[in-house]
A and B are shown apart, each in its own frame.
Chain A
């Protein structure tokens, strides 16, 4: 029995590896950079510049792909509050996906506030639909499918939204914000919007669970961090405009730990936030999800 168990695990790992390699397969020639940071422009302008530096969307999305774009649509707040991903950025990403030949693009988030209100008032539903994406609900458990996370320490399995589970590729589009519990919410924390049972995370070592869920074998092909506005205090919901800084930044990478490290350093300029405080990032590195050592990466730094 032990043997068969071991065999099964091996098979699973092989599976996982094949999916991993699949997402990188598309890149016939290696991208110029591992991570691109852009400053000083409008969200959609910065994204266009960044994706071009990464070799274009075709590096990541193939013709006929079912793509899922996962922004942060957690809160019933207007765009100025920087509680949700900028709708202009979401729209631009969807457009690039279709241009690269995506068969369909789905958008969702498991919101914290009433999903009808967040989808509407964030402006994301309207913007995404205008680009031809399908905006799907995520407020019922039946939309989620169980997956196992063998590499997780505290979180061994989770229910993940079918839009991700059934997709060929997915793109993670968080916004950079302060977070009372996790200190910061960026790409890794944005995974909490793809799972059903967030309460389990909070009750069982939040920071570890965030790192654990990032070991899910279907990794995002891109993490695009919206830092056009950043919420420096009272996050993740925010209570007034005094919590928000117009920072005009954008970070993009396939390495989720690296992009969150870069974004944390960026945030640190608005308000002190050493990387050590955002412990889920380090825990992610321990689990082999990515690297915090930016020195080792090829980084493109651009200004609009």
Chain B
């Protein structure tokens, strides 16, 4: 029964969060964004106290329910493990010793790197972010291709319910990283179920630590148990030591697969009285002393590791700073010195700190102008979102990226705020301009400018030529996208280190009366 609830809940949440990433037509209701906001790392970064307290209580009550049902990466692994069992029916899990050293090392280095300003490691390892990238870069193209196929079929019958969308690779580096994640975690899941969660995942380690103290736990009734090991064969977390009739709660993801496997009803998920827990701890203490774990050695190695880590992290920060101040190699005639962060990112430093590169903004941007960075922000900002205008420009009234961002890296803006937020500043290279060179009309840039930061002013005879006012530019990139000058564009947007609010002065509405035909 418990397992059925767990499986149903998992499938439901997993499908919904995946569809939420994929849904480019806004069919799904907005409140589904809560599925991303209840993820642990985003909630930590957004300092979402309600969610954090909720997850803390959930874990302290019921164990790692987060890992078994809320985390989409967990369910991805369950799916892979399930498939591997379908392929190899004889497949059995086996108890493994906990790799607590590795778990701790990963957790501490991730936290240390984050504190030192390198969010990249959290971004790479956080299961939600990694899953988001898998969906954005691997599943989304398939989804769009499916949409295009439907569009093709339906339009041939003159039905325009579906429409075609462009298919392209948004970022090769992110695609490769997503593929490595998919295959790497997939391989681990195929071999050993939840081994990623219980060796690498920093969230798993953290919640594992908490779940030692959970009120509800799976317990083995030692009087009924004959140590047959059936439960251990079912345990995808490899955390049941049947021989010693013990469960490693730090690794148990409360999947309940073991409950039904026991022929003697020796396994139960129930409230653990504090008294019993104490007892259990005592026995475990006893076992520890029996096993004579060389704790001193372990501590020493931990200390050494931490020192090294600190050194690396410090130098990493230096490296990040260096690559950031060091100018990038020009790829095109105009050199964008500073990348353009999505509107709503107060400063590039803020983005570097808060973004775990889940790429929900990349997926959701209706104008498709958000692209993962390569090294534009420096090493630490790899895969973080930046605007590019090769395929479109940022819609003036659109606020989607800030609305969906679960970590608060892109802060939500109202339409009015968005209209007055400067994400970049326009730059004009007159030598490249068509009006200047060919002395023919153009005005494509000004046409697209929502604030008239680029306006057409009288030039020779009937011609008008662009004139810029970077002060009132929002950095939407309409001008850059549309500028038809070849081979080099005559107008582009330069990024800003910190975004600010602009003031746009409007002329008074003068009441012009047109009463006559005029001809």
Asked if B160 contacts A181 (CB within 8 A), the reply is: no
The complex places the Cα of A175 from the Cα of B386 at a distance, in Å, of: 36
Whether a CB of chain A sits under 8 angstroms from the CB of B310 is no
**Is there contact, CB below 8 Å, between B450 and A237?**
yes
Q: A39-B515, A114-B392, A265-B518 are in contact. List 5 more A-B contacts (CB 8 A).
A: A139-B164, A181-B443, A208-B440, A242-B509, A261-B519
Contacts of A12 in B (CB 8 A): none
Chain A interface residues toward B at CB < 8 A: 37, 39, 76, 112-114, 116-117, 134-137, 139-140, 142, 179-183, 198-200, 202-208, 230, 232, 234, 236-237, 239-242, 245, 247-249, 261-262, 265-271, 276-277, 279, 294, 299, 301
**B485 & A206 in contact (Cβ 8 Å cutoff):** no
> Which residue from chain A places its CB closest to the CB of B451 in the assembled complex?
A239
Inter-chain contact B451/A301, CB cutoff 8 Å? no
Name, among A139, A202, A242, the residue most crowded by chain B CB atoms within 10 Å (CB to CB): A202
Residue among A76, A113, A236 with most chain B CB within 10 A: A113
Name B462's contact: one of A183, A248, A267 (CB within 8 Å).
A183
A202-B434 CB under 8 A given contacts A117-B395, A239-B451, A241-B509? yes
- Given A179-B447, A208-B440, answer yes or no on A242-B519 (Cβ-Cβ < 8 Å): no
B residues adjacent to A (C-beta < 8 A): 158, 160, 163-164, 166, 366-367, 392, 395-398, 434, 438, 440-444, 446-452, 455-456, 462, 464, 482, 484-486, 504, 506-510, 512, 514-519
Please name all residues of chain A whose beta carbon is closer than 8 Å to the beta carbon of B484 when the two chains form the complex: 199-200, 202-203
For B464, the chain A residues whose CB sits under 8 A away are: 180-181, 183
Are A76 and B397 in touch, CB under 8 angstroms? yes
Contacts of B434 in A (CB 8 A): 202-203
B160 touches A112 (CB 8 A): no
Q: Is the CB of A279 within 8 A of B462?
A: yes
How many Å lie between the Cα of A268 and that of B518 in the bound state?
Answer: 7
Q: A181's closest neighbor in chain B, by CB?
A: B443
Establish whether residues B442 and A181, one from each chain, have CB atoms under 8 Å apart when the complex forms. Answer: yes
Instruction: Please report the number of residue pairs spanning A and B whose Cβ atoms sit closer than 8 angstroms.
Output: 134
Contact B397 A114 (CB under 8 A): no
Chain B residues, CB < 8 A from A268: 518
Provide the bound-state CA to CA distance between A301 and B514, in Å: 15
Interface centre among A183, A205, A234, A239 (most CB of B within 10 A): A239
**Can you pick out 22 interface pairs between chain A and chain B where the beta carbons lie within 8 Å of each other?**
A114-B366, A116-B366, A117-B395, A117-B398, A136-B160, A137-B160, A139-B163, A140-B166, A181-B441, A181-B447, A199-B444, A202-B434, A202-B482, A207-B441, A232-B512, A239-B451, A242-B506, A242-B510, A249-B517, A262-B517, A269-B518, A277-B462
Our pick among A76, A207, A261 for the contact of B396 (Cβ within 8 Å) is A76
Per the bound structure, the CA–CA distance linking A276 and B463 in Å amounts to 11
CB distance from A258 to the nearest CB of B (A): 10
In the bound complex, do residue A180 and residue B447 qualify as a contact, i.e. CB atoms below 8 Å apart?
A: yes
B455 nearest CB neighbor, chain A only = A180
Q: Across the two chains, which residue of chain B brings its CB closest to A234?
A: B452
Within the complex, the shortest CB–CB distance from A218 to chain B, in Å, comes to 21
Residue among A39, A76, A206, A301 with the most chain B CB within 10 A?
Answer: A206
Could you tell me the distance between the alpha carbons of A281 and B484 in the complex, rounded to whole angstroms? Answer: 23
User: Which chain B residues lie closer than 8 Å to A139 at the CB level?
Assistant: 163-164
By a CB distance below 8 angstroms, the chain A residues around B455 are 180, 234
The reply to whether A266 and B518 form a contact with Cβ atoms under 8 Å apart is: yes
CB distance from A276 to the nearest CB of B (A): 7
**Nearest Cβ on chain A to B358's Cβ, whole angstroms:** 23
Are B450 and A245 within 8 A (Cβ)? Answer: no
Contact indicator B397/A182 (Cβ below 8 Å): no
Chain A residue at minimum C-beta to C-beta distance from B464: A180
Which residues on the A side are within 8 Å of B517 (C-beta)?
Answer: 37, 39, 249, 262, 265-266, 301
A280, closest chain B residue (CB): B441
**10 tightest CB-CB pairs across the interface, nearest first?**
A181-B443, A180-B456, A180-B443, A180-B446, A265-B519, A199-B484, A203-B484, A205-B440, A265-B518, A202-B484
B448 adjacent to A237 (CB under 8 Å): yes
Asked if A182 and B443 make an inter-chain contact with CB atoms under 8 angstroms apart, the answer reads yes
How distant is the Cα of A249 from the Cα of B506 in the complex, in angstroms? Answer: 26
> Across the two chains, which residue of chain B brings its CB closest to A142?
B164
Q: Write out the residue numbers on chain B whose beta carbons fall within 8 Å of the beta carbon of A241.
A: 509
Q: Smallest CB–CB gap between B251 and chain A, Å?
A: 47
Please measure, in the bound complex, the distance between the C-alpha atom of A182 and the C-alpha atom of B438, giving whole angstroms: 15
Closest Cβ–Cβ distance, residue B502 to chain A (whole Å): 13
